[in-house]
A and B are shown apart, each in its own frame.
Chain A
Amino acid sequence: MTDSHLTRRTLLRYGAYGAGAAALAGTAASWDRLTGADIPGRDDDSLVVATLGPAYGPEAIRTLTDGFKELHPDIKLRINAVQAVDWSDFFAKILTQIAAGTAPDLVYVATEGVQLFAQRLGVALDKWVKRDAAELREYFADVHPSLVESMMYEGSLYQLPVEFNAADMYLNHQVLGRAGASFPAADWTRDDFTALLRDMKKSSGSQFTPYFWTNRLWGGVVPWLFANGTNLLSESKAPGGAWLWDDFYPAAERRGRGGGFRWTTPQATDARVEEAYDYLASLIQEDLCTRPEGGNGQNLVGVFSTGRVGVTPAGGFWAGGLHLAGMKATDYDVQYFPRWRTQRMQFGAAGYALLRTSKRQEEAWEFIKYAARKDTLMRLFKTNQTTPARRSMLTADRYRETGPNHWQVFYDTLDKFPDTGPIPAPPQVAEVEQVLLKHTGTALASRRAVAPALRRMQSDLEKAMERDV
């Protein structure tokens, strides 16, 4: 049997060990070492900018930081690249930082979050825009008013858009050739589109899907709703905004502009919404398109570039992605979304939102202006990983290596179709998006499932919109 009691000698020995450990710890504590406070930007009065990690790699961050340092050597800057799979995941992480009391000063926010941030967290940029109007005139002259309007909320401007992506149609030339089809005209219709998918299907094997789409707010069902002249939520414009339009845009371009979009009453049971869903369900039934999947189309580049998919909606961001996947400029091309009742298209834009909690609002405004400069965007968007918000940046030279041949489509989606608008993203966007994805999944199980699923969607959207954020 062992003695569980400590002898005096043992106790003394443990005491000596403890004293030794304490001495070592004390010595170590007295050395210069890294602590949490040494993390760049933490507690050192830096301006903290949160960006979506995957969109901003180390090189982009260095580019942003170095350029800003040259202009403003007196302002310390830290770019906090938050890793997230999509915008809703990104916003969740930003909100967690805010809850933890470590809110950044600026957050890179896409259309999905513009109104949520504007309503609850953001600071309107109006006073700075008015103050620095002379400096910003060149910027607004280069940026389509639809993009600017999508960053307004109830008459005030909350972000300067630096990039956007409209849902255009990418087509694989190899698949078109196999089907004996020619590249569609700019004014192609929904019926032309359907016929093209059928031709593609006939000429390809069983491992081929003519049309691939991803179930999400941007580029999912919504472009079809827009093309059919409807929307998930009724859309109107808030009053106000004249202070900006009158100062920066000519009369022709400011016509019909307001103080930002309002998405209010759910209309999932609208006949045109049902018609759009019914159309997609029929494509699925004919094996002409994939069933809606969750997620973000991670495998899409692979299946498109290898000719297992013929057509898919995507924005300018895909040019860089396809180039990286080994596609040549001549292997694919892009065309507008097909016309149905209208040819209104949808887009999402992004820019930096200034948080109310920021104690460095003047410095933050300097960063916002810096991030919207042409030279900054030229350095940042070298690889065509997105569509720059500045029209002058879309040139033949930019797309010579990556393609597509019809690169003008990206900006012409705004210029030639002025009613093209942002995806519906009210402050309750998280719940709206979840309801949309959920019921789209069940609606497209079969054509008979469409109407009941849309009724449930309507009911859930009504609840979501009634809820205060």
Chain B
Amino acid sequence: MTNTQIQAVRPRPATPAEVAPRPSARDRGSRLLAALFLAPTIVGIVVFTVVPIAGSIVLSLFHWNVIDDPSFAGAANYREVFGDSTVLVSFRNTLVFMVFAVALQLLIALVLALAVNGRMPVWLRSVFRSAFFFPLVLSAASISVVMKYLFNQDFGVVNWLLGLVGIAPVPWLTSENGAMTAVVLVYVWQQFGFSFLLFVGGLNNIPKEIHEAASLDGATGLRKHLTVTLPLLSPTLLVASVVGIINALQVFEQPYVLTNGGPGDSTRTVVMFIYESAFEQLRFGEASAVGVLLFVLIMAVTALQFRLSRRFVHYQ
């Protein structure tokens, strides 16, 4: 290659006209306005999310009991956590709870959304939508207090009703399986309304023509839902499952009020462990370490969901 050729392929200096134009006053005003509108949200996220997360990570490296000054502990809190069988049981319980609660929540919400989306007077549809959403606006702690009465083995309404049909009293809150079942049922009863509303919205977004075309091709009933509705609803399912899993992994009020984590540790969840370690036993460093691990778990599960969604979620 000759020098002349090299020179020929060298980029020539840009002329003043080709340099990116400086933003006009109008552009700067527009950007400033956008920044002003975004500022409250960004400040909120930084103050209430980013700073506490960073604070927890830092605190997980210290021993701190609120009363005395924190002392640096390095990885000691993490070693303590990994050697504590209660922590491992709490994570196992939380994962078991998450699997059953989210599956049941999505299933009930989907079935009811399909039912409500069928032929029905508009006013009745509105009644159902409000009724299914209503538990979500109630306090989880208050609901759990009421449910604790209902599920009481000796005096509860649930066992009284079961007794009417000849079923012996179930130790809902005092046996390991019964306690987890009761916690899942109470949680799902309160939470499914959110997924239900998402599904109703998602179903309304599916063009009627597609269903009509499927009908013309001979698809009916369940087959039509499996082959047409579900694939087209998969983006909504993804959102509902992501939100559902994140919430379920942070469950606290229901097991705390209903069973106090018992019997034994059978319903002790990770967030319950964090609360007890920090605010009852004054082990804020260890509690923060468990909090960091839960954060990592939630991030990992969510990332996995989005990765899997490439194969299972169909966007129109």
Contacts and interface: CB of A to CB of B under 8 A. Distances in A.
A55 interface: no
Interface in B236-285: 257, 259-265, 276, 279-282
B174 A95 contact: no
A46 interface: no
Contact of A5 (B26, B163, B262, B280): B26
A5 B29 CA distance: 8
Interface string B150-175: 00111100001001000000010111
A265 to B, nearest CB: 20
B262 A438 contact: yes
Interface string A35-77: 0000000000000000000000000000000000000000000
A293 B173 contact: yes
Task: For chain A, give the interface size range.
Answer: 35 or more
Given A7-B26, A299-B152, A445-B175, A430 B281 contact: yes
B35 interface: no
Nearest to B278: A92
Contacts of B264: 438-439, 441-442, 453
A149 B88 CA distance: 41
B30 A209 contact: no
A434 interface: yes
A445 B262 CA distance: 12
B260 A294 contact: yes
Interface in B118-164: 145, 148-149, 152-155, 160, 163
A14 interface: yes
Task: For chain B, give the interface size range.
Answer: 35 or more
A438 B265 contact: yes
A99 interface: yes
Contact of A98 (B66, B260, B281): B66
Contacts of B173: 293-294
Given A7-B26, A121-B67, A290 B145 contact: no
A98 B67 contact: yes
A207 interface: yes
A94 B154 CA distance: 35
B33 interface: yes
A325 interface: no
Interface in B54-100: 65-67
Nearest to B149: A299
A452 B260 CA distance: 21
B217 interface: no
B170 to A, nearest CB: 12
Given A291-B171, A308-B155, A438-B265, A5 B149 contact: no
Contact of A95 (B33, B152, B282): B282
A4 interface: yes
B18 interface: no
Contact of A99 (B66, B154, B171): B66
A207 B155 contact: yes
Interface of A: 4-8, 11, 14, 88, 91-92, 95-96, 98-99, 120-121, 206-207, 209, 212, 215, 290-295, 298-299, 303, 308, 430-431, 434, 437-439, 441-442, 445, 453, 469
30 contacts: A5-B27, A6-B33, A7-B26, A11-B26, A96-B279, A120-B65, A121-B67, A206-B163, A207-B155, A290-B153, A291-B171, A292-B174, A293-B152, A293-B174, A294-B260, A294-B261, A295-B260, A299-B149, A299-B152, A303-B155, A430-B280, A431-B280, A431-B281, A434-B276, A441-B262, A441-B263, A441-B264, A442-B262, A442-B264, A453-B264
In the A-B complex, the 10 residue pairs with the smallest Cβ-Cβ separation, listed nearest first, are: A294-B260, A441-B263, A442-B264, A92-B279, A291-B174, A441-B262, A430-B280, A99-B66, A5-B26, A6-B29
